[in-house]
Structure 1
Amino acid sequence: MNNYDQSSLSNTEASGLNRFFMKVYQYMAIALLVSFVTAYIGVRFFAQQISAIFNTPMMSLVMFAVMIGFVYLFSKRVYSNPGAAFGMLMGYAVLNGATFAVIGLSFDVATIGMALAGAAALFVGMAFYGFTTKRSLASMRGVLMGALIGLILVGLLQIFFFNNIVYMVTAMVGVVVFALMTAYDMNTLKQMYLEFNQSGAGATAEQGLAVSGALSLYLDFVNLFLYLLQLFTAFGNND
């Protein structure tokens, strides 16, 4: 099912789709709340420890490796054991929250607020497009995956060989990539739900898809926020 129209769905399908996305957004919201509460606790009570842990490039690499490991294990369990995968999502949110504490210690509240507001606006707009468009966005997958790999490689190089121009360009590209990724993920989740529903995949598979979708959208929002923060910082430094 590559092309679909919300208006062509039966009342039962439309109602089920709305309930599914409500669940996805509830899980995503919980994960974001956990991350921000963790970040607040880190800034408020463990500022020195957080600064010491994340003060070296090697620790940044270690944290990156741990996060990749989390996502890998999550993908292995999400459909067979959605409950365990949800627990891993919360653990991942705590881990991300610890890294957000560094942001709280490094940037002023106004800049963080602007980045959050911008990320929320972009996320809502692109998610709405991805959900409502009659087109399948599956063809974007290859380009987005390639761009994502490029961003990761450049980010790793920037840890050791920082360059202001590369920093700014990477931020701009990152915002575009994750805005498009948000639309793509919403579109893909909608299509997958309809396919699962038609095939009778069952409640466990649907629950796994909801948890998996929550992680995807959580990552889209977080990366939009981080790249917007990076972009504001880059222009601020130029000023």
Structure 2
Amino acid sequence: MADWNDQRTGVGYGTGIDSASVPSTVRDTGLRKHMLSIYNYMTSGVLLSGIIALVFAQGGENSMAAQLFTSGGILAWIVILSPLAIVFAMSLGANRFSAGALQAMFWGFATLMGISLSTIFLVYTSESIALTFFATAAAFAGLSLFGYTTKKDLSGFGTFLIMGVVGLLVAMLLNIWLQSSGLAMAISAIGVLIFAGLTAYDTQRLKAQYMHVRGTEWAGKAVILGALSLYLDFINMFQFLLAFLGGRE
């Protein structure tokens, strides 16, 4: 989701290697390895968040999640806001951080997200969470495969989808005041569609970026930042789908 290196502006990792000078077999093998590394990091991050969420939710009303978030103290707000701060730091400071530093920040982000996500076990049934997770995983796989294989240029949808995310955030803030169940359902449905589109768009964007980072110092950074983008697409799609379909306790 985070467009940390927009090729149209020329800002980011540099020029890389001209794809025309690289044999197609080498390019294809390198691309598959690059994308597999992104998916491995992204999947590991999601699994880490899920395991931590389960651990913190153990015990129901007496769980660590309940004790942390029902108190509404400063620690709860730190946990809630820290992942957002890390995303901005990674996206805006990618030029300054090493690949190792970005990797450490990614795992820290996934850990804090796991703690934040533990609250869903206090609201929704375990069965609906599991069903929604596997439905999201299947949808994500299909959408990402579409983004990887399609010949259609999806770059034109990028700005539209990012604007949709901004509009979604405004609607969510507005509904905190309105407390409209109808608007909440509409937000959830639109959120699923927006992040479904971003999954395909980001996959194609990351694939297109490969030849620009191949053989440069940005190669390792691109993997971590790409995993972060796809992680955000997956988790947001999961949360909106859960709010739309999840069964409450």
Q: TM-score range with shorter-chain normalisation?
A: 0.7 to 0.9
Partner SS, residue 208 of structure 1: helix
Matched, 1:218 2:218: no
RMSD over aligned Cα atoms:
2.5
Deviation at 1:22, TM superposition (A): 1.0
Q: Unaligned regions of 5+ residues in structure 1, if any? A: 3-8
How far apart in 2 are the matches of 1:49 and 1:136? Answer: 46
Partner of 1:232: 245
Query: Conserved in 1, the CA contact under 8 Å of 2:38 and 2:224?
Result: yes
Partner of 2:179: 162
Partner of 1:29: 43
Matched, 1:12 2:12: no
How far apart in 2 are the matches of 1:184 and 1:33? Answer: 23
More helix by share: 1
Partner of 1:144: 161
Deviation at 1:52, TM superposition (A): 3.8
Deviations 1:76-124 (A, max 9, x none): 4435411111111111111110121111122112111221121011101
Q: Unaligned regions of 5+ residues in structure 2, if any? A: 1-6, 9-22
Query: Conserved in 1, the CA contact under 8 Å of 2:148 and 2:203?
Result: yes
Written as runs of structure 1 = structure 2, the 5 A alignment for 1:85-234 is: 85-197=102-214, 200=215, 202=216, 204-233=217-246
Query: Conserved in 2, the CA contact under 8 Å of 1:189 and 1:213?
Result: yes
TM-score by length of 2: 0.82
Report the CA distance shift for 1:87/1:69 in structure 2 as closer, same or farther (over 3 A).
same
Q: Given residue 71 of structure 1, which amino acid in structure 2 is its aligned partner?
A: V
Partner SS, residue 58 of structure 2: helix
How far apart in 1 are the matches of 2:72 and 2:166? Answer: 20
Q: Given residue 85 of structure 2, which amino acid in structure 1 is its aligned partner?
A: G
Deviations 1:154-198 (A, max 9, x none): 22333443211011101110110000000000000011112333x
How far apart in 1 are the matches of 2:94 and 2:83? Answer: 16
Q: Given residue 190 of structure 1, which amino acid in structure 2 is its aligned partner?
A: K
TM-score by length of 1: 0.85
Q: Given residue 168 of structure 2, which amino acid in structure 1 is its aligned partner?
A: L
Query: Conserved in 1, the CA contact under 8 Å of 2:57 and 2:66?
Result: no
Report the CA distance shift for 1:77/1:65 in structure 2 as closer, same or farther (over 3 A).
same
Runs of 4+ in 1 over 6 A off after TM superposition: 56-61
How far apart in 2 are the matches of 1:56 and 1:150? Answer: 30
How far apart in 2 are the matches of 1:212 and 1:45? Answer: 35
